[in-house]
Structure 1
Amino acid sequence: MTTPVLEARGLVKLFGRVIALDAVDLALYPGEILAVIGDNGAGKSTLIKCLSGVLVPDTGKIFVNGDEVRFRNPQDARSAGIETVHQVLAVAPALDIASNLFLGREIRRKGPLGSLLRMLDSKEMRRRSAEQIKNLGIGTLQNIGQAVETLSGGQRQAVAVARASAFGSHVVILDEPTAALGVRETGQVLKLIRDLRDTGKAVILISHDMQNVFALADRIHVQRLGARAAVITPKTHTMEDAVAIMTGARRMTTSHSTD
């Protein structure tokens, strides 16, 4: 059986007396889109924060490609090949597209200009940025030197996804990537997510939009009251089934879930 590229076993996270995560398991396989859904308070955000190094679980284990890891901060997760695009995009509006893609990972010029004077190699960063955007098939970003503040919401989302894809060698986590986008821009982002999967990346998609979830996801992880209620697929269950599981109107036994 294929080894999950990212796996969580028995994650528990407490905030005082509140159980935010109650022994949650999750498995993400190479080249798939796994949607994580659930009502507010179901533990989605806490789960993602544990997987991306923002929070440290109280108990439980996390594995990357079968090897146990321990994330103490987001940099640990990034070093393990896990990039996260949060709902509030961490882009620098005044900088151009290339500078945003390499934000925090700037390439310096070779020789004394880079090592002593710490001068950036803007030409190389623009070249690599253009290559990355071309590889992802992002047709809405034509001018790499364009300031991000001049871009539309969908284009900004594309910049954030391109940055995550460029450095997330294993996993890209997307938190509500189509929130506050129009119909046309949402369609562009959905295509980008599919293209991301087609390049071999494993994607975790957190979304409240059931239509998008069922259009994109290979499997769907359902959270309820801090626990994993079920893992279903768009082929075996309907949107109504998913909502019923989320709300507790329908209960799933372990034997009916699929991992």
Structure 2
Amino acid sequence: MTDTSAAATPTKAGSDIILSATDITKSFGGVHALKGASIQMRRGEITALIGDNGAGKSTLVRCLSGVHRPDSGTIRLDGEDVTFETPNLARKHGIETVHQNLALVEELAVWQNFFLGREITRGFGPFRTLDRKQMKATASTQLGNLAVNAPPVSNRVRRLSGGQRQAVAIARAAGWGSKIVIMDEPTAALGVQETARVENVINTLRDSGVTVLLISHNFEQVMRLSNHVWVMRGGLAVAERRTTETSGDELVALITGAKAA
């Protein structure tokens, strides 16, 4: 079993550590959502973040993705301290988030969702127009690189299945040169077959060198996909394990506190 002493205070980031969050605190009025949480993520791996509702997972993810600014603590990306005032700043640093609601616009086509707020234009000055051809081609390539049986990029999102929508959201996040893609319960509302397809997309993403942070309540999925697991409880990261050196039963025990880190 791995030494879990680093769960409270991660070791100094080395070349294999792409992101480290140290002693992160965040309060909302009298509610202390994070009480000094610390995690690390290794480059090119899938790191799982697990814990009961209210453990602090969502708040930590929002701090990493620029939705919330921590009250205290440090976030280091590629060895440099970073501060994200907004999600756009996190994205500029290469951190994309696939939220549980996917943030897709139902009435727009797949290619339009890919480039929403990042449209490619051509021309000069006030005479610039949207380069639809380039955007469609780029979206088709990015989606095709990740997803098998990807939907045509001209299809409207409202016509897609749940698995196709997830694939679109993940491919969009990966397509912007991301260093890290954060995924919040990516298969929570999907059936068995669609879950398998989305998991294949996630594995393809990792194989392409992108680091993934996976938030999931599905321990079987965590064991299938992740390389490393962090356990949160009471606003703290209380334990960490290499996935090959743990089990679903041990993770449950760590979450509930039945087993000490």
Shared fold by TM > 0.5? Answer: yes
Match of 2:61 among 48, 63, 68: 48
Matched, 1:127 2:140: no
The amino acid across from 1:124 in the alignment is Q
Q: Equivalents in 1 of 2:140, 2:181: separation in Å?
A: 20
Secondary structure of 1:167's aligned partner:
coil
Matched, 1:22 2:31: no
Please name the residue that 1:186 is paired with: 195
How far is 1:240 from its partner?
Answer: 0.4
Match of 1:143 among 152, 161, 178: 152
Uncovered stretches (5+) of structure 1, i.e. residues with no partner: 253-259
Matched-pair contact (CA < 8 Å) for 2:223–2:243 = yes
The amino acid across from 2:126 in the alignment is L
CA displacement, residues 192-247 of structure 1 (integer Å, 9 cap, x when unaligned): 00000000000000000111010000000100011011011221111000000000
Match of 1:173 among 163, 166, 182: 182
Uncovered stretches (5+) of structure 2, i.e. residues with no partner: 1-13
CA displacement, residues 162-217 of structure 1 (integer Å, 9 cap, x when unaligned): 11001152000000000110110000000100000000000000000111010000
Please name the residue that 2:7 is paired with: none
Please name the residue that 2:10 is paired with: none
How far is 1:144 from its partner?
Answer: 1.4
The amino acid across from 1:119 in the alignment is T
Secondary structure of 2:154's aligned partner:
coil
CA displacement, residues 70-93 of structure 1 (integer Å, 9 cap, x when unaligned): 011101100100000000110011
Match of 1:90 among 103, 106, 128: 103
Q: Write out aligned runs for 1:143-222 (5 A).
A: 143-222=152-231
Q: TM-score, normalised by structure 1?
A: 0.93
Matched-pair contact (CA < 8 Å) for 1:3–1:65 = no
The amino acid across from 1:57 in the alignment is P
CA displacement, residues 28-60 of structure 1 (integer Å, 9 cap, x when unaligned): 111100000000110000000000000000000
Aligned pair count reads: 248
Q: Equivalents in 1 of 2:25, 2:129: separation in Å?
A: 45
Please name the residue that 2:113 is paired with: 100
Runs of 4+ in structure 1 off by over 6 angstroms are none
Matched, 1:237 2:232: no
Matched, 1:59 2:68: no
Q: Equivalents in 1 of 2:223, 2:85: separation in Å?
A: 33
Q: Equivalents in 2 of 1:118, 1:207: separation in Å?
A: 43
The amino acid across from 1:84 in the alignment is T
The amino acid across from 1:226 in the alignment is G
